[in-house]
Amino acid sequence: MVKVKKIIEEEFISNADAKELLDKFLDVSEDNKMFYEQRRAVYHITKFNKLSADEARRLIEELLSLDKINKTIAIIIANILPSTRGELRSIYAKERYNLSDKEFDEILDIVARYR
């Protein structure tokens, strides 16, 4: 019988924070000592990471100061850095509320400062 590990805590983090954690816990300079999944994670996070960890945290904090933005959405916005209302609408597609054009523009203005 296989023992399944219990998840004690779960937290959604930005790509920049994930890269910081991977760099800390894995020796990225030695690919041959990492498992396949670890190499793929490092590759993915390196290729698609657009901000430093500090920039991502500042962007997330600034987004959280707005109405109708929760932490999960702020992190998704920081990971993707949408540049159009359409991209932003796709992030909000599953939410139970809609944003006005003014709110979309306010978010896009904040994101534009971090590009």
The pTM (predicted TM-score) of the whole model is: 0.85
* 59, amino acid identity: L
| pLDDT for res 63 | 97
Cα(17)–Cα(13) distance, rounded to whole angstroms? 6
Q: Are 77 and 115 in contact (CB under 8 A)?
A: no
Taking alpha carbons only, the member of 114, 115, 96, 87 closest to residue 104 is 87
Tokens of 82: 């949408």
Closest of 88, 90, 63 to residue 75, by C-alpha: 63
CATH 1.10.150.80 domain range(s) in the chain: 53-112
* Topology at the third CATH level for domain 53-112: DNA polymerase; domain 1 (1.10.150)
pLDDT of residue 30: 61
- What's the pLDDT at 5? 82
pLDDT in single tens digits along all 115 residues of the chain: 778 788 888 899 999 999 998 888 877 666 567 888 888 988 999 899 999 999 999 999 999 999 889 999 999 999 999 999 999 999 999 988 889 999 999 999 999 999 8
Rounded CA separation 45/67 (Å): 29
